[in-house]
Amino acid sequence: MAKPDLYREWNVHKMERLLESCANAGVTRFIFSSTCAVYGDPQGKLLTEDTPFRPLTPYGETKRDAEALLQKFTARGISSVALRYFNASGAEPRLRVGELHDPESHLIPNVIRAALAGKSVSIFGDDYPTRDGTCIRDYIHVTDLARAHWLAFEKLQKAQAPFFNAVNLGSGTGYSVREIIASIEKVFGGKIQTVISPRRPGDPAQMVAGTERAREWLGFVPQFGLDRIIGDAWAWDHQRLQPKRAVFLDRDGTLNVDPGYLSDAESLELIPGVLDALQKLKAAGYLFYVISNQSGINRGKITLTQIRRIHGRMDALFAREGVRIEEYALCFHHPDEKCDCRKPNPKMILDLAGTYGLSLKDSAMVGDKVTDVEAGLKAGCGHVALLLSGNEADQQLKNLGERPGIPVFKDLNEWATAQVRFESKA
């Protein structure tokens, strides 16, 4: 394993400093992402939380040591749950998040990407003492994993005294490498070529979770099986590889009337024509993302709860017309903080494009301030537009100056109409 010292620095030394800070600040509940790698090679046996630790890698060793720190800090009043992940896999059902490691080392995404690219898949060893000679692993859907965290949070909320507990998060069923490939072939609709390669050092033949404690103590039973895991993973990769285009939208002055630090959801007022505009753009194949500077959080003008309520109301208004905002990307920093996410910096746009596989050259950034336009240009958006629907229209026109090639429109609906008409003629 590369850089074992880095694992120890982050997983142990910094973990201890974090726990010390928590104890000093009165933070008394902690959920820890641990791993089945703490067990090492179980020699084919089912892994329970009481299985002795025999980690084979620095990663597993440092997670073991981090759990020991959690146990130690119960004396300082901290209750904690260590969730020992088995093979987290699949994708969030709405395909907003999926596996995208660089380099990718997980079996399911590697097999899917090989299938989509027409390449072969390496099987590292076919002489293990398993039913078909290949390694067996226990896979858990990432959505089930998230739900288990919520259940752990609820357990911690009810704690009467400091405690530590560890829980395996798996399905209790193991699948071999060949079985995973066969399952993906069903979705792919064709044969996936394989190449037998030498075993990888330290690969146990079988890792399957005992799930009794998860079921009895945590109240956790996985809802999604292997078919759903592979189906969601396939859909994630397939849509990620398809060019998609988006309209990145400023919020205040673009979608809604800007009263200055909007804080009351009931006061939200959409700018006339916004719903018509979004329907036209949706019909043209655009996805929608809101990109908004919200320094009012930092200034103490509004709260996160208020922002969530505002966006909930906005979502409800849009949903009535069959329109959906895929994500709200927000920067809470004060302008003086010189962060890299506040517009006119392009980071929020670039992050969304990377996460959702968006084609920036086919996408647009639209807003009522020149900083919106600048963010779109810096990100490489193929289309930008300045709208005069905000409170500072005259000032923004002055800020724009004589910059050539930046189109200006009365409002979002006027731009959407022009954009759709332009595309129909292209």
| pLDDT tens-place string over residues 300-355 | 999 999 999 999 999 999 999 999 999 999 999 999 999 999 999 999 999 999 88
Looking at the structure, do residues 276 and 228 belong to the same domain, yes or no?
A: no
Please say which residue of 240, 273, 305 terminates a domain.
Answer: 240
Looking at the structure, do residues 222 and 254 belong to the same domain, yes or no?
A: no
Q: What is the per-residue pLDDT for 426? A: 65
What is the C-alpha to C-alpha distance for residues 150 and 144, in angstroms, rounded to an integer? 10
Amino acid making up residue 105 = S
Active-site residue, selected from the candidate residues 59, 261, 328, 356 = 59
Share of the chain above pLDDT 90, in %: 88
Q: Are 362 and 354 in contact (CB under 8 A)?
A: no
What is the C-alpha to C-alpha distance for residues 139 and 86, in angstroms, rounded to an integer? 6
Looking at the structure, do residues 109 and 38 belong to the same domain, yes or no?
A: yes
Structural domain total, the chain: 2
Looking at the structure, do residues 275 and 231 belong to the same domain, yes or no?
A: no
Looking at every residue in the chain, the average pLDDT score rounds to 95
* pLDDT above 80: residue 241: no
DSSP β-ladder status, 245-249 and 194-197: unpaired
- Average pLDDT on 171-191 reads 97
Closest by Cα among 404, 373, 405, 378 to 388:
373
Query: CB-based burial of residue 37 (10 Å sphere; 0-12 exposed, 13-18 middle, 19+ buried)?
Result: buried
What is the C-alpha to C-alpha distance for residues 73 and 28, in angstroms, rounded to an integer? 10
Please say which residue of 180, 214, 240 terminates a domain.
Answer: 240
Looking at the structure, do residues 215 and 308 belong to the same domain, yes or no?
A: no
Please say which residue of 182, 211, 240 terminates a domain.
Answer: 240
Range of the domain at 68: 4-240
Work out the pLDDT band at 356, boundaries 50, 70, 90.
Answer: confident
Looking at the structure, do residues 281 and 395 belong to the same domain, yes or no?
A: yes
Looking at the structure, do residues 225 and 286 belong to the same domain, yes or no?
A: no
Structure tokens at 346: 């392009």
Encode pLDDT of 357-391 as tens digits.
899 999 999 999 999 999 999 999 999 999 999 99
Domain CATH code at residue 308 = 3.40.50.1000
Looking at the structure, do residues 133 and 211 belong to the same domain, yes or no?
A: yes
> Between 425 and 386, whose confidence is greater?
386
CA atoms within 13 A on the CB side of 244: 23
356 catalytic residue (yes or no):
no
